[in-house]
Amino acid sequence: MKQVNRLSGGLVDRDQVLGFTFDGKRYEGHGGDTLASALLANGVRLMGRSFKYHRPRGVMTAGSEEPDALVELRSGGRQEPNTRATVAELFDGMQARSQNRWPSLRHDMMAVNDRLSNFLTAGFYYKTFMWPKAFWEKLYEPTIRHAAGLGRVSGEDDPDVYDKGFLHCDLLIIGAGPAGLSAALTAGRAGARVILADEDFAFGGRLNAEMFEVGGEAGSDWAKAAVAELASMGNVRLMARTTVVGAFDHGVYGAVERVADHVAAPVEGQPRQVFWRITSKRALLCAGATERPIAFANNDRPGIMMASAVRSFANRWAVAAHETVAVFTNNDDGHRTAADLIAKGVRVTAVIDTRADAPAVEGAELFAGAQVIDSRGRLGLESVRIRTAQGFTRDIVCGALAVSGGWNPNVHLTCHQRGRPQWDETLAAFVPGPDLPVGMLVAGAASGVLSTEGALRTGAEGAVAVLADLGIAATAAVPQAEDAPVDLTPFWHVSESKGRAWIDMQNDVTVKDIKLAHQENFVSVEHLKRYTTLGMATDQGKTSNMGGLAVMAELTGKSIPETGTTMFRPPYTPVSFGALAGRAVGKHFHPVRETPSHNWATERGAVFVEVGDWLRAQWFPQPGETHWRQSVDREVLATRRSVGVCDVTTLGKIDVQGADAAEFLNKVYANAFAKLPVGKVRYGLMLREDGIAYDDGTAARFAEDHFVVTTTTANAVLVYRQMEFARQCLWPDLDVQLISTTEAWAQYAVAGPNSRKLLEKIVDPRFDISNEAFPFMACGEVTICGGLRARLFRISFSGELAYEIAVPTRYGDAMIRALMDEGEAFDVVPYGTEALGVMRIEKGHAAGNELNGTTTALNLGMGRMVSKKKDCIGNTLSERAGLNMADALKLVGVKPVDATQAVKAGGHLMAKEGPVDAAHDQGYVTSAAYSPILESSIGLALLKNGAARLGEVMRIANPLEGDDVEVEIVSAHFVDPDGEKLRV
């Protein structure tokens, strides 16, 4: 197909012919094209539909501010909704589709909304759809939801990978137009570490879109030379296709680099996009300016575009927006479009300038003091109607209208930390205010300096200034360039227009909507935005906020700055989820922590469970076992009958040393440690300062000045943090040193009546581990297997005679194998977390489900452990009345009256007879398991005044799942309540 609107010249590579499709139709473009420029080159003006009225829309801008030409790209998992055709770099084979239309872009059934627009005014939905009550959710809302939305998500997983990274620099320059390039040259030549980032794939900004000369050569050539010089500097990093999207505290910026969006798919291993967090000492914002429209009736037809965009398409992309173009402007800049088009041989049918004293135009008819009041053309502009200075109306034939209402500096990033822009009368625009993000300066058009020479100069001077702060001397060298002053008469909307005049194109907010908002007292800017949805579209109001504000100002009779300001929040342009997630996807969402027996357990076919970041063996199925309960019951029974081994490495281990180590533990644990003898272990209960139980574990004393304490797996990090707080902030002069050793030791619980016999085969003979020599709660350093250093603790979580043995982690794999080999004589089993849980419930040990952050030592039956003779964290506040009520919850056991019934954790305890409701709630089941020893389901529960209610029959209400189980309240210690097994 012929590129009917392709002109000569420009910066496209005609040697590259790229085929692409739009809505299934095949077209061709060139290297350097965007989808928008290529479509325009092919004479395609209709590119999309608006959000609410489904009005036909074309492309309005040539940049990231585009509100209208949104398309879906690619398909399957790579389907990408809402991509602006203006920034989609053309590649061979690109598939693009229009969106938010049915059945086709030309014939969209939902365009009926446009006919009904008089009923669908701003906020109409707040006033209706209330009756009948049920209809909102059943009829109205589903209909609205179906019609709303823009592009589609395929629902398939995105196959591409994304990356993140971190960069550091002296100076981050945001935008590589004349100001940014000039700043980068200045800073780069001075030796500073510079990052120059631009959202475009070509550096140069407006230099690539204008016919200006810089230093006697074409602006685009000057830009190319500047980039070449910068590329040769080792201290300058050039980042094209990189949008700086947010300015965060203390010089931190977020930036998205689109690495592979300009190709059909990334090459293997290449990320599609990278999200960079840039830490800068200084930043220079050179983000340019955005041209703004003038509202008039039907100003949204395909072909009505920004004048600067028409110029960009012509000069950079060698594309005429249409064969016939008219210009509508309130300032001199619009005239440049006419001049450039005429120079390229495009027919300019009229220049309509709102200013009575508009400068003359060569080669086109000028209407000074005139206004465009309406337009015609359903799927593409055919003509505009103007009112001349003399008051006559006249129709001007044109397929494109280039509109210029002046320029708004791109102050967005200056607002990201609540800086407020300030009003500039000359530009009739907001410019950066005094409250810039720390370390940021603004140069060029973004700062309100709109001429090319001004941009080059302020860029260079800005660089000199910020580098001076850093002690780097730089000198500004500014080439000669165009330096025209701004001549503009503010003009926002054509009030004579009869029809709807659009302010926010995408969201279909018109001047009338703003008038209605005013009439209904939604006059503050925030109310206006929220009521009308002005500025809430995917362009975040880049082309609409100013217009809306200006209309509201007119209605309230206030000035624009009195009416409000335009505020912008991150991101500058929308950022893909993929980039922000980076590599943290799928199985790599969080790092995995593996225990020392992981490989061995994998070989044994263990089923693993996530415990925080740890993967632990949950149970070890044997051939023939078809249900997890079979495996777990077997592991429990075998352990209780003979011996079992469990990897308990995940428990936190903190090494506590120092002359005051014991005193320190006395303060952080509720119970006393000062008198614990060397070679002994003690259970420890740690409270929060509010008196609630925090964590439990053991402390083993290896020397007068040396303890090793354990924490629960879940709280390892938190307890260490809390202990460092106590050490550094509360008792800074205690001589105590802490360090985590969780990972350094592979630790196994060896439990069951034969555990000693098994360990005796492992522990070297010179260590006597008999009951007498190494009694319950003993600990010591031993050697095993012929000399390997190890630590042995005689502690038990299962209630059996049990030990924990620790070896340096590199021997952990060999250790479990050795235990299994040596244990064969005793039919040793490995057991997982499930059997561990069963045995601790049988024994009545509180764990995470009981230590749930709301229970006290009293609730857990450990009230007497809280020593009242010493200061410790949580002691004082644990005495509050509310925590010591007569009917306080107490830990009890529950056992079904009918042993075939199952107790479930999360059921609520109720009196056997009587109502089942919240008012009669007596407590809840915290943990439950099937006990193969007792051949019954059992549970632990927190019951009001539970200690006094043993023997009572109650019911466990579980209305959630329709269960109701009668249970007997029993002691939480189902097995060996007196602990005899522990001491044999």
Partner 1 sequence: MIIDHPLLGPRDAQEFVYLGDADLINRPDWQAEDAADAFHDYLYLRDNPAGVHRELWYHEQGDRSWLVVTRDTLTHEISKVELARDVARAQGRGR
Partner 2 sequence: MRYSGWRVIKEALTGHKGWTPAWSDPEPKDHYDIVIVGGGGHGLATAYYLAKEFGQARIAVLEKGWIGGGNVGRNTTIIRSNYLLDGNEPFYELSLKLWEGLEQDFNYNAMVSQRGILNLVHSDAQRDAARRRGNAMILNGSDAELLDTDGVRAMYPFFNFDNARFPIKGGLLHRRGGTVRHDAVAWGYARGADMRGVDIIQNCEVTGFRIEQGRVLGVETSRGYIGASKVGVAVAGSSSRVMEKAGMRLPIESHVLQAFVSEGLKPLIDGVITFGAGHFYVSQSDKGGLVFGGDIDMYNTYAQRGNLPVVEDVIESGMALIPALGRVRMLRGWGGIMDMSMDGSPFIDRTSVDGLYFNGGWCYGGFKATPASGFCYAHLLATGRPHEVATAYRLDRFRTGHMIDEKGQGAQPNLH
Partner 3 sequence: MGRSCVYKLKAMTALGGTKPRVDVFAGVKISENPDRALVSVSARQGHETVCRERARAFLGVDLPAPARAASSEGFGVLWIGPDAWMVEADHTRHELLASEIKTAVADAGSVVEQTDGWCRFEVEGSKVCDLFERLCNVDVQAMLGDAVVRTSIHHVGCYLWCREAGAAFTVMGPRSSAASLHHALIESAGVVSLD
Contact with partner 2 (CB under 8 A) among 136, 201, 767, 930: 136
* Residue entry with tokens 């053991």: 698
Binding partner of 721, given partner 2, partner 3, partner 1, none, CB within 5-8 angstroms per partner class: partner 1
Listing from the earlier edge strand, what are the strands of the sheet with 347-353? 304-306, 400-404, 324-329, 347-353, 366-368
The torsion region of residue 43 among left (phi > 0), alpha (psi -120 to 50) and beta comes to left
Contact status: 562 vs partner 2 (CB under 8 A)? no
**Cβ-based nearer residue to partner 1, 603 or 613:** 613
| Among 103, 132, 434, 765, contact with partner 3 (rule: CB under 8 A) | 765
Q: Of 384, 334, 364, which Cα lies nearest the Cα of 489?
A: 334
List the structure tokens of 303.
């072909």
* Residues with Cβ within 8 Å of residue 63, at least 6 apart in sequence: 86, 87, 290, 309, 312
CB of 63 to partner 3, least distance (A): 28
Considering only 61-69, 193-201, 456-464, 573-581, which stretch makes contact with partner 2 by CB under 8 A?
A: 573-581
Site string for partner 2, 21-60 (x = CB under 8 A): ------------------------------x---------
460 Rama sector, left if φ>0, alpha if ψ -120 to 50, beta otherwise: alpha
What does 251 bind: partner 2, partner 1, partner 3, none (CB cut-off 5 to 8 Å by kind)?
partner 1
Q: Which stretch binds partner 2 (CB under 8 A): 487-495, 511-519, 637-645, 740-748?
A: 511-519
**Sequence-ordered alpha helix ranges (H) in 642-709:** 661-668
Q: Does 658 bind partner 1 (CB under 8 A)?
A: no
Does 164 contact partner 3 by CB under 8 A? yes
- The closest alpha carbon to 162, from 274, 247, 50, belongs to 274
CB 752 within 8 A of CB 801: yes
Q: Of 52, 56, 68, whose CA–CA distance to 113 is shortest?
A: 52
Told to check if 165 binds partner 3 by CB under 8 A, we report yes
Task: Tell me the per-residue interface mask from 266 to 305 with partner 3, x by CB under 8 A, - otherwise.
Answer: -x-xxx--x--x-x--------------------------
By CB under 8 A, residue 725 contacts partner 1 = yes
Q: Does 163 bind partner 3 (CB under 8 A)?
A: yes
* Contact call for residue 590 and partner 1 (CB under 8 A): no
Please identify, among the stretches 294-302, 392-400, 425-433, 729-737, the one whose residues bind partner 1 according to the rule CB under 8 A: 729-737
Three state DSSP letters for 727-749 = HHHHCCCCCCEEEECCCCEEEEE
Alpha helices per DSSP H over 268-396 = 307-315, 332-343
Rg for the chain, CA atoms, rounded: 37
- Least CB distance from residue 967 to partner 2, whole Å? 15
577, 626, 786, 951: residue in contact with partner 2 (rule CB under 8 A): 577
Instruction: Show contacts with partner 1 in window 840-879 (CB under 8 A).
Output: 871, 875-877, 879
Sign (positive or negative) of CA dihedral 179, 181, 183, 186: negative
Are 262 and 20 contacting, i.e. CB atoms less than 8 angstroms apart?
no
Interaction of residue 242 with partner 3, rule CB under 8 A: no
- Contacting residue, 538, 631, 809, 926, with partner 3 by CB under 8 A: 809
Nearest CB to partner 3, comparing residues 266 and 448:
266
Q: Which does 917 bind (CB under 5 to 8 A by kind): partner 1, partner 3, partner 2, none?
A: partner 2
Q: How many angstroms separate the CA atoms of 60 and 309, rounded?
A: 7
Of the listed pieces 243-251, 756-764, 792-800, 893-901, which binds partner 3 according to CB under 8 A? 756-764
List the one residue out of 671, 697, 931 whose CA is nearest residue 797: 697
Q: Of 46, 28, 42, 154, whose CA–CA distance to 91 is shortest? A: 28
> Closest approach of Cβ 690 to partner 1, in Å?
6
Q: Are 897 and 712 in contact (CB under 8 A)?
A: no
Binding mask 275-304 for partner 2 (x = CB under 8 A): x-x---------------------------
Q: Interface residues for partner 3 in 604-633 (CB under 8 A)?
A: 613-614
Q: What are the residues whose beta carbons fall under 8 Å from the beta carbon of 84, sequence distance 6 or more?
A: 36, 64, 66, 69, 70
**Binding partner of residue 916 among partner 1, partner 2, partner 3, none, CB under 5 to 8 Å per kind?**
partner 2
> What's the min distance (Å) between Cβ of 872 and partner 1?
8
Give the CA distances from residue 99 to residues 68, 103, 508, 863, in Å, rounded to whole numbers and listed in that order: 11, 10, 16, 66
Q: Which does 51 bind (CB under 5 to 8 A by kind): partner 2, partner 1, partner 3, none?
A: partner 2
Interface with partner 3 in residues 628-667 (CB under 8 A): 649, 655, 657-659
Is-contact 188 467, C-beta < 8 A?
Answer: no
Select from 235, 388, 565, 576 the one that contacts partner 2 (CB under 8 A): 576
E strand residue ranges, 794-912: 802-808, 829-830, 889-896, 908-911
Place of tokens 């000028």: 366
* Closest CB 481 distance from partner 2, rounded Å: 36
Please tell me whether residue 414 binds partner 2 under the rule CB under 8 A.
Answer: no
Window of 22-30, 531-539, 593-601, 645-653 that interacts with partner 2 by CB under 8 A: 531-539
Residue 583 in contact with partner 1, rule: CB under 8 A: no
How near is the Cβ of 732 to partner 1 at its closest, in Å? 4
146/418 with CB nearer partner 1: 418
Question: For 175-300, where are the E strands, in sequence order?
Answer: 194-197, 213-214, 217-218, 236-239, 242-248, 252-258, 273-285, 289-291
Select from 15, 137, 357, 733 the one that contacts partner 1 (CB under 8 A).
733
**Contact residue for partner 3 among 147, 814, 902, 950 (CB under 8 A):** 814
262 touches partner 2 by CB under 8 A: no
Cα separation, 285 vs 216, in Å, equals 26
Tokens 């023939």 correspond to what residue?
Answer: 624
Distances (CA, A) of 591 to 599, 776, 796: 17, 37, 30
Q: What angle do CA 744, 746, 748 make, to 5 degrees?
A: 150
Which is nearer to partner 2, 489 or 630 (by Cβ)? Answer: 630
Q: Does residue 346 contact residue 320 with C-beta atoms inside 8 Å?
A: yes
Answer yes or no whether residue 741 interacts with partner 1 by CB under 8 A: no
Residue 655 found at the interface with partner 1 (CB under 8 A):
no
140 or 201, CB closer to partner 2? 140
**How large is the angle between the packed helices 511-519 and 545-556, nearest 10 degrees?**
40
| Residues in region 820-859 near partner 3 by CB under 8 A | 822
Nearer to partner 2, 132 or 786 (CB): 132
Q: Under the criterion CB under 8 A, does residue 250 sit at the interface with partner 3? A: no
Calpha distance 246→349 (Å, rounded):
42
Tell me whether residue 392 or residue 725 sits nearer to partner 1 (CB atom): 725
Residues 58/319, Cβ–Cβ less than 8 Å:
no
Q: Does 250 participate in binding partner 1 (rule CB under 8 A)?
A: yes
Q: Which of 711, 742, 749 lies closest to 836 in space, CA to CA?
A: 749
Stretch that binds partner 1, among 395-403, 730-738, 812-820, 891-899 (CB under 8 A): 730-738
Residue 164 binds to partner 2 (criterion: CB under 8 A): yes
Interaction site with partner 3 (CB under 8 A): 163-168, 193, 267, 269-271, 274, 277, 279, 583-584, 588, 590-596, 598-599, 613-614, 649, 655, 657-659, 705-706, 733-735, 737, 739-746, 760-765, 784-789, 807-815, 818, 822
Interaction site with partner 1 (CB under 8 A): 248-252, 279, 417, 438, 689-690, 717, 721, 724-725, 728-734, 871, 875-877, 879-880
